[in-house]
Structure formats: structure tokens, C-alpha cells
Amino acid sequence: MTEKKRRYFGTDGIRGRVGDGVITPDFVLKLGWAVGRVLANGGQNKVLIGKDTRISGYMFESALQAGLSAAGVDIYLLGPMPTPAIAYLTRTFHAQAGIVISASHNPYHDNGIKFFSSQGTKLPDDVELQIEAMLEQPLVTVDSAMLGKAHRVDDAAGRYIEFCKSTIPSGVDLTNLKIVLDCAHGATYHVAPEVFKELGADVIVMGAEPDGLNINQNCGSTEPRLLQAAVLEHQADLGVALDGDGDRLIMVDHQGELVDGDEILFIIARAQQRKGIGHTEVVGTLMSNLGLEHALAKYDMNLHRANVGDRYVIEKMKETGGRVGGESSGHIICLDKTTTGDGTVAALQVLAEIKETSNSLHELRSVVTKYPQRLINVKAKKRVDLANNDEVVSAVQKIEEKLGDEGRVLLRASGTEPVVRVMVEGRDAAVTNELAKELASMIETILQT
């Protein structure tokens, strides 16, 4: 199935500004009913619902609950919980699906609905198509005796905390580590601090006072400046910044320097290899830094590049047999631990390696020498197949010849806005910048004529 066939679903559920388009209570109620009809398949099954901390979550939780009940499906309400926790609990509850009400790292005025299958993975394309087809049908409520019942899961946080702790060896604890933890005023505010504290770390918590409006506001993995300052102020060993729904992270070493998803991915892959449980195949994306590829090669590991998006990373991991994959933005997937990106679990793998090797985060990340990247967004008035444009192909070839093995060029049309992303990567920042500007200028001329 191609993305064009989807009317509502994107690569990560349905997302938008609250009150606009389909991000409304009436649509979400109908969506809940449609999901219930497709997944219940004539029986009375159960679906889990969790959410992040944005204020509109209450409204959409009620709408989904009503729609699912009308379809005859029982609902288990988890309350505010990280996205990966909902994936985990969907599996352990043997539910037909898990529903996440979240817009991830977006500001509070956005929200979205995304789904996990009974295996804790993204819904298959054919199921999404069935849900979209059901949305076109009139909403018919089941007989009153068959209405779904709602249950609140009071121990959801505790279950997930214990799961996270179980992902590192039982003999490893985090004593003598001082950590600054930024929860982005999001869904991890009441679980991530407990995970690290219960493992023995000295935890300084920030971004853990959600009010429904401050999620991701000047904090979290997309805004780590305050975390960097806090690590230096408290003379901490490192910092961890999660995003609003807890499925990605950025770290900060003791010098206040950012450690991004590429570097975290390398540390985890190298840790697995050191323990003899790793795999030579590691999955990144088209945007993963060339420095990551070269660092992995030093240890006889191969980097496979998937399209941007955790759905595509997981697909490539299953195709290559890789155990770990991720994105520069901090989506890190440890398939031997869980089924989706999990910021807390990924952080624990890094912390375990720090404890087991007695190396600092700064030392572990120093193996990766990142190459300068210049990314320029070129506005597109029209759609042009740049891959088959002779002028563009020739220009790209000349740049690649100039860069050799120490650079690369990437042209990618955005899936969310009318721009073409022009990225040039090379060892010399000045040369890289100049080549990117020249290529972007030429493409801009083509797209505007």
C-alpha cells in the first residue's frame, strides 16, 4: 500500500492541531468506533488507551472511550503513560490494540492518535485501510447488553518501571552516577525518575511538573539547552532529555556537550558487540551522520540506511536482522528489549555500558567523529523528479566525486511540507557549506521555473 491510498493515517498515526481537520472530538469518537469494529470482529475484545500530558488528552480519551464502547469493546485506561509503555502493556495485557493520544515532541496545541497492534508494533497497513473504510460507514451502536466497559489500570506505571529496570543486567546498578533528567513535562514525568532512582542513581529531575500546556516547552529532547546548563551547574556525570511521549532521547555528557541519536546508537551497538550479543548489522536513516558509519566500520559493523521514520527503521532492522537501530533525533529501537523506540530503555543501555566499562559518556561517544552537515530547505512550487533531472544528477555526481569517501549528498522531498531538503556532508565544514549552497541554489531555480 502506498501513502497516497491513506486518507487519514500518516506514517505515525493521525496528528494535527486540536480543533482543526480531523483532530476533533466527533471524529475521534467515530475513529474509536471504527477501530473497535475492525478489531473486535464481532467479539468483545479489549483495547488499552494511554496519553501524554497535554490538556486535550482528557477530551480525546473520553471520545475514544465512547466510540470503543459503542462498538462493544472493553477499554482499559492507563492514564498518562509513555508511548513505549503502551506498546509494552498492550502485549502483556494480551489486548487487541493499544491507543496512544499524543503529538510526541510537538507543542501542546497539537495532538494525535496512534495505534499499536496486539504484538506492540505499528498497525499493519491493511488494518489501517480497514479502519479508514469503516470510518465511511454510519456509526451503529451495539445492543446495550454488549456495550464495552471501561476499567482503570492503577498499576500501569509500576508495571512499566519494572520492565525498564529489567532491560539491563541484574548485577548492574547506577550507584555513584549523578544524572540530570529532563522529562519534558511529558508522559515520563512519573515513571522515568523512579526507574533511575530505584537503580541507585542520584537523580536531579527537571521538566516533571506538567500543567497540560507546558509539554515540550523549552525543555526535553528538542530543547536541551537548560539541561546542558544544569549538568554543568550540578557537576553531574551526564544528562538525559526525553521528549513529550518518551519514545526518544538526547543525552548530555559531563562537559555539557550534546550526545545525539547517532552517538547513542553507536554506544549501544558497540556495547552489544563487546558482550558478544550484538549483530554486525546496524540500522540508521538517510540522515545518519557519515561519522557513525565510519565508527561502526572500525569495529566491523555495517550501517544500513532506512528512510526517515521509526516505522522504516524497524522494517529495515527486521530485513537485515539487526538488533539496534535509530535516528539522529534520538529514536532508538532495541528490538531485543522491546518493539518500539523507548527513550528510557535506550538511556539505560548507555548507563549500563558506563558502569560496566568505567568509561564516561564523553569517552564512549568520542569514537564517533561527526562530519559537518549542511541542510538547506528549498521551497518547491511544483513537484519535480529530481532523480531523473539531468542537470541535478550531473551536479550531484560532481559534488560526490569531489567529496569522495569522506562525504555524501542527499536530496529528499519533505513528507510534511512543500520543500526539498538538500543535505551535503563532508569533512571540511567550509567546503561542505559552499557545496550545499550551490546545489540548493540550482535546485531552487529548477523548482521555481
The residues annotated with a catalytic role in the active site are 104
CB of 382 closer than 8 Å to CB of 449? no
Reading the block at residue 276, the C-alpha cell is 558478544
Please, what's the b/e burial string for 377-387 (b: 16 or more CB within 10 A of its CB; e: otherwise)?
A: ebebeeebebe
DSSP 33: H
Other beta carbons within 10 angstroms of residue 404's beta carbon come to 10
- Residue 169: enclosing H or E segment and its boundaries? none
CB of 410 closer than 8 Å to CB of 448? no
Question: Smallest Cα–Cα separation from 105: which of 249, 258, 245?
Answer: 245
Tell me how long the chain is.
449
Classify the phi-psi angles of 104: left when phi > 0, otherwise alpha if psi is within -120 to 50, otherwise beta: left
Sign of the CA dihedral 76, 81, 86, 89? Answer: negative
Opening angle at CA 116, ends 114 and 121, nearest 5: 125
3-class DSSP assignment, residue 375? strand
- How far is it, in rounded angstroms, from Cα 158 to Cα 110? 28
CB of 230 closer than 8 Å to CB of 180? yes
- How far is it, in rounded angstroms, from Cα 279 to Cα 143? 53
- How far is it, in rounded angstroms, from Cα 383 to Cα 362? 44
Reading the block at residue 224, the C-alpha cell is 536541551
CB of 414 closer than 8 Å to CB of 421? yes
Describe the crossing of helices 261-275 and 343-357 by its angle, rounded to 10 degrees: 50
Reading the block at residue 210, the C-alpha cell is 506538567
Classify the phi-psi angles of 414: left when phi > 0, otherwise alpha if psi is within -120 to 50, otherwise beta: beta
